[in-house]
Amino acid sequence: MIKILFIGDIVAKVGRRMVQELLPDLVKKHQIDFVIANGENATHGKGIIYNHYQQLKQAGVDAITLGNHYDDRDEIRTFLDAATDIIRPINLLNDYPGVGSALFDNGRIRIRVTNVLGSAFLLEKVENPFIAFDRLLTTIEPGDIHIVDFHAEATAEKRSFGYAFDGRVSAIIGTHTHIQTRDAKILPAGSAYISDVGMTGAEESVLGVIPDITIRRFWHGENKFFDYDDKAAGLLSAVVITIDENTNLATKITPLYILEHE
Ligand SMILES: [Fe+2]
Ligand SMILES: [Fe+2]
């Protein structure tokens, strides 16, 4: 039995602090073998700089996935090729450093991690995620645990993706909306699934952002920069996925929703 912890979008300083403070105990408590975290919002909500990549690694994250914010910090282009444990979306249309899928081997387990960007209601133009991911599956060697971060807005696109690739991967884990959904389950052919893991950041917030700012945007049309309360109490959203090593399919998926103030 292999246990994988997948942490939802880490947003700004509070999100990074929650991971630093809670991850060691979570790994012990749930006997976690491998930790994946979505880091697209790690640096003040937009992208991830080298410093924060190092922070998350030191906190115990083994693999970092991205999303539509993959290119928000120019700096990432300078270190992404060398940072083989960061996985950016696989279906980008432009030439971009890094990889969209990678195989990790820590001596005990082999695990593939892939990041796919959805196409519905997102500004970024990408190759059709179903076509891009199906092509990947035909080119890789089967037989490894495979966790997919499907970073998308629409639950219909996410659930379609889940059923489309059910049984061909260990887990399809949705990210991007920052709100944990109630539909975590093992799909009929054995892949773990959730439409969205949720976010790791300030609890009293709108997707991590100070509510006053998003209220002004929606109510009054003000276009102020998103800002984050670095002193806010935190929330950590994640799932624990249990995988049968004989089949590389999932037997259990357990959502975690940890509020700091409780
Ligand atoms: Fe995000
Ligand atoms: Fe996103």
Ranges of each domain in the chain? 2-204+232-259
- Determine the pLDDT at residue 229: 96
Are the CB atoms for 138 and 88 separated by under 8 Å? no
| Active-site residue identified among 44, 52, 69, 176 | 69
21 CA distance to ligand 2 middle (Å): 24
186 CA distance to ligand 1 middle (Å): 24
Q: What is the rounded CA–CA span in Å between residue 176 and residue 173? A: 10
Q: What is the rounded CA–CA span in Å between residue 194 and residue 48? A: 24
Query: Which residues contact residue 115 at a Cβ distance below 8 angstroms, ignoring those fewer than 6 apart?
Result: 65, 66, 67, 87, 88, 89, 90, 100, 101, 148, 149, 151
Q: What is the rounded CA–CA span in Å between residue 261 and residue 136? A: 42
At 125 the three-state DSSP class reads coil
Question: Chain centroid to CA 256: how far?
Answer: 14
The tally of CA atoms less than 13 A away on the side-chain side of residue 58 is 10
The mean pLDDT value of the chain amounts to: 97
177 CA distance to ligand 2 middle (Å): 7
- Determine the pLDDT at residue 262: 81
- Determine the pLDDT at residue 116: 98
Nearest ligand, measured from the Cα of 71 = 2
| Token code pair at residue 27 | 């790994």
- Residues with pLDDT less than 50, the chain: none
- Determine the pLDDT at residue 8: 98
For domain 2-204+232-259, give the fold. Purple Acid Phosphatase; chain A, domain 2 (3.60.21)
107 CA distance to ligand 2 middle (Å): 32
- Determine the pLDDT at residue 158: 98
Nearest ligand, measured from the Cα of 70 = 2
**How far from 86 is each of 72, 136, 153, CA to CA, in Å?**
15, 18, 21
Query: Which residues neighbour ligand 2 (ion) by CB within 5 Å?
Result: 67-68, 176
Over residues 48-67, the pLDDT tens digits come to 999 999 999 999 999 999 99
125 CA distance to ligand 1 middle (Å): 17
- Determine the pLDDT at residue 197: 98
Nearest ligand, measured from the Cα of 12 = 1
Query: Which residues neighbour ligand 1 (ion) by CB within 5 Å?
Result: 9, 41
- Determine the pLDDT at residue 191: 98
- Determine the pLDDT at residue 107: 86
- Determine the pLDDT at residue 169: 98
151 CA distance to ligand 2 middle (Å): 6
Nearest ligand, measured from the Cα of 151 = 2
151 CA distance to ligand 1 middle (Å): 8
The reply to whether 69 belongs to the active site is yes
